[in-house]
Amino acid sequence: MKLVFQQSIDRLQLEGAMVLNVTPGSGAAKSGLRPLQRNSSGQMTYGDLIVEINGEPIRSNNDLLLTLEKYKPGDKVSVKVMRDNKPSTVQVTLGSSL
pLDDT at 32: 94
98 domain-assigned: no
Model-level pTM greater than 0.85?
A: yes
Query: What is the pLDDT, as a whole number, of residue 61?
Result: 97
Residue 52 sits in a domain whose CATH number is 2.30.42.10
Residue 55's domain comprises 2-93
Domains of the chain: total: 1
Kind plus residue range of the DSSP H or E element containing 58:
none
- The secondary structure of 6-50, three-state, reads HHHHHHCCCCCEEEEECCCCCHHHHHCCCCCEECCCCCEECCCEE
Tens of pLDDT along 77-90? 999 999 999 999 99
Rounded distance between C-alpha atoms, residue 79 and residue 60, angstroms:
14
Q: Is the pLDDT of residue 34 over 90?
A: yes
